[in-house]
């Protein structure tokens, strides 16, 4: 995980700088920070970053690679331990499809962001076609048992609107994935790996991911 994070860190930092356009004085919370990729990409661009994740092992990895203006804390994305309006910017990257209540995470992102502040959501999108969405869901569940469900663009926009978030800009990016590397990333082995590989052969489109980036205003 660390090697892959290093290989993509520069690209992620450039993407964040271009898309978010931070001023440099923001206090930021990164919800579902994992090993800290997004938090560390933001660190040189803002005043302070707090990364939150429920998995102690991932937080330990993040702390090994931390920066002076970054703090990592254990916490639940649907019940953040911060007061209303505590941050100028709240972000989450590739997190919503791992949680049972994504609407709860979006609501918390909005709650802890000050009025006029920003919210960044980055996640893989479900296809609009129901059959393609079902095939992708089956593949992702076989690959990674922590996967819950990908949301479509329309579903995400509905969650944003329900939390009072106003779209500022968005974009989509296609990612081509190599099957073995993608399965390795999730630690997918044994029967689960065989099943995921069979599903990928039957539905090759599951290896092309659409990643949505959304910047919203509180």
Tens digit of each residue's pLDDT (9 = 90 or more) over 94-150: 999 999 999 999 999 999 999 999 999 999 999 999 999 999 999 999 999 999 999
Asked if residues 98 and 148 have their Cβ atoms less than 8 Å apart, the reply is yes
Would the pLDDT of 28 be above 80?
Answer: yes
- pTM for the whole structure: 0.92
- Is 135 a domain residue? no
- Residue 36 in any domain: the answer is yes
Q: What residues make up the domain containing 114?
A: 2-129+146-186+208-217
In a domain, 141, yes or no: no
The answer to the question of residue 107 being in a domain is yes
pLDDT at 168: 98
In a domain, 191, yes or no: no
Q: Which residues contact 151 (CB under 8 A, 6 or more apart)?
A: 96, 97, 102, 123, 125, 126, 159
Q: Give the domain CATH number at 57.
A: 3.40.50.150
71 in any annotated domain: yes
Which residues make beta-bridge pairs with 92?
Answer: 121
Residue 140: inside a domain? no
Give the confidence band of 11 by pLDDT, cuts at 50, 70, 90. Answer: confident
Give the whole-angstrom CA distance, residue 79 versus residue 175.
Answer: 32
Q: Give the total number of structural domains in the chain.
A: 1
Spatial distance between the Cα atoms of 129 and 137, rounded to a whole number of angstroms: 12
Kindly state whether residue 154 falls inside one of the protein's structural domains: yes
């Amino acid at each position: 995980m660390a090697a892959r994070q290093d290989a993509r860190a520069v690209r992620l930092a450039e993407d964040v700088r271009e898309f978010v356009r931070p001023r440099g004085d923001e206090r930021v919370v990164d919800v579902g920070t994992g090993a800290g990729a997004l938090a560390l990409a933001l660190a040189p661009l803002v005043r302070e970053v707090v990364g939150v994740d429920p998995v102690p092992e991932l937080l330990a990895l993040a702390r090994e690679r931390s920066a002076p203006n970054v703090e990592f804390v254990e916490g639940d994305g649907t019940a953040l331990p911060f007061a209303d309006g505590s941050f100028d910017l709240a972000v989450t990257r590739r997190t919503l499809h791992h949680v049972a209540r994504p609407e709860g995470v979006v609501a918390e992102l909005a709650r802890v962001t000050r009025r006029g502040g920003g919210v960044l959501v980055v996640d893989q999108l479900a296809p609009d076609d129901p059959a393609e969405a079902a095939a992708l869901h089956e593949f992702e569940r076989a690959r990674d048992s922590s996967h819950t469900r990908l949301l479509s663009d329309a579903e995400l926009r509905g969650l944003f609107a329900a939390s009072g978030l106003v779209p500022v800009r968005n974009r989509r990016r296609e990612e081509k994935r190599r099957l073995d590397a993608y399965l390795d990333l999730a630690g997918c082995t044994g029967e689960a790996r065989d099943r995921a590989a069979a599903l990928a052969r039957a539905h090759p489109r599951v290896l092309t991911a659409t990643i949505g980036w959304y910047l919203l205003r509180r």
